[in-house]
Chains A and B, each alone.
Chain A
Amino acid sequence: MTDAALTPNERSGIVRDGLAVGVATGAYGIGFGAVSVASGLSVAQTCVLSLLMFTGASQFALAGVVAAGGAPMSGAATALLLGTRNTLYGLRMAPLLAWRGWRRLAAAHVLIDESTAMSVNRGTTEAARLGFLTTGWSVFVLWNLATVAGALAGEAVGDPRTFGLDAAVGAAFLALLWPRLASRRNVLVAILAAAVALSMVPLTAPGVPVLAAGGVALLVGVLARRPDRTGAPADGAPAEGAPADGAPADDAGREDSAAGGHR
């Protein structure tokens, strides 16, 4: 994989960025561990989620639905809906990473917000692979270590209400949502979705309101003909190319919001 097209300086810069993102996500991992145990999952289930699911927003969602009293399967369905995001990342990353066989199978596991953000704008396959791997695997290691620490701490606390841990769950979701509220359409969708979910709480089994709110995304996404700030052409052409074409400052902002956004 190393054919020395990158200078040592470039290499160490990419590696350093990847490790920094890994360290930053550790904090979220502690939060997930504590929140998950407070939601009623066991320490083992919490750790399995971080090891095998390994996509932060989906993990938080499963725990959150269970915490609200929802059926575990509703939690799983919500997690899967949030996981569809990674499919789109994969479509964008596949030609850039150009991996096949077992390497692709391994890469898929660490295909997340952070690894995509840290490699999607690299010019060459070698640089993209390096950014993807260092970010992906450093996040993986630290996310899992942090999960164990958070889960054990959460278990030691016992009743989540004691230290207000039940309030931490909502705060964590809000922090994940916050960077996505930059455009007016997203704010509108967020308000509608919250209203739909709350209005369904008295009517349906716990867990269902959140899934129903996903329908708002579907509805607005299908009905909205005009592009929102992105300037994507109505059909076909390179909506997907827009991020890569952005100015450097714009790219940095994107990485920021992706890295901070979904964990």
Chain B
Amino acid sequence: MWTAVLLACVGCYLLKLAGLSLPERVLHHPTVERVADLIPVALLAALVAVQAFSAGTSLTVDARALGLGFAVVALLLRMPFLVVVVGASVVAAVARLL
């Protein structure tokens, strides 16, 4: 775990430094920019799905789905980040008690 943590830390720093050091035209291409814009969207959406609906290598629907449902409602109502996250936990915890 430590190796992965430290490698990722160094890598992320080098990615930042590369941006400040490379000449601007190197990555100045519409396709590169489009892909770079879409990568966070795709990865975050995948993380949401995998977090909420999988356990190991199987697909499951459990209390976490209810928590995610609360998060959707809270985001639609423009609630702050902490309310979204804490509320989702509370909903999931209560659902497990019932």
B-binding residues in A (CB < 8 A) = 27-28, 30-31, 35, 41-42, 45, 48-49, 52-55, 57-58, 60-62, 64-69, 71-73, 75-76, 78-95, 97, 99, 104-105, 107-109, 111, 161-178, 180-181, 185-186, 189-198, 201-206, 209-210, 212-218, 220-222, 224, 227, 232-236, 239-240, 260, 262-263
Contact = CB atoms under 8 A, between A and B. Distances in A.
14 contacts: A49-B5, A78-B43, A82-B39, A93-B20, A164-B89, A175-B75, A189-B45, A190-B42, A190-B45, A198-B54, A206-B57, A209-B50, A210-B50, A224-B34
Given A167-B92, A174-B75, A209-B50, A75 B4 contact: yes
Nearest to A204: B57
B50 A31 contact: no
- Most-contacted residue by chain A among B38, B42, B57, B91 (CB, 10 A): B42
A232 B12 CA distance: 28
Contact of B53 (A99, A107, A198, A220): A198
B98 interface: no
Contacts of A166: 64, 92
Contacts of B70: 171
Contacts of A227: 30
Contacts of A240: 24, 28, 33
Nearest to A69: B56
B18 A162 contact: no
A185 B35 CA distance: 12
Interface size class of B (residues with CB under 8 A): 35 or more
Nearest to A52: B9
Given A194-B48, A221-B36, 15 more contacts: A45-B5, A48-B6, A53-B5, A68-B51, A82-B43, A87-B22, A94-B19, A162-B93, A166-B64, A167-B93, A177-B44, A198-B50, A217-B35, A221-B34, A222-B35
B67 A193 contact: no
Contacts of B68: 167, 170-171, 174
A94 B32 CA distance: 18
Contacts of B13: 52-53, 108-109
Contacts of B39: 81-82, 84-85, 214, 217-218
A167 B56 contact: no
A237 B37 CA distance: 18
B40 A57 contact: yes
B36 A104 contact: no
Given A64-B51, A76-B4, A171 B56 contact: no
Nearest to B66: A167
Contacts of B71: 170-171, 174-175
Contacts of A180: 40-41, 44
Contacts of A161: 96
Contacts of B57: 69, 201-206
Nearest to A220: B38
A201 B54 contact: yes
A49 B9 contact: yes
A234 B34 CA distance: 11
Contacts of B38: 185-186, 189, 216-218, 220-221
A176 B44 contact: yes
A167 B63 contact: yes
A28 B81 contact: yes
Contacts of A169: 51
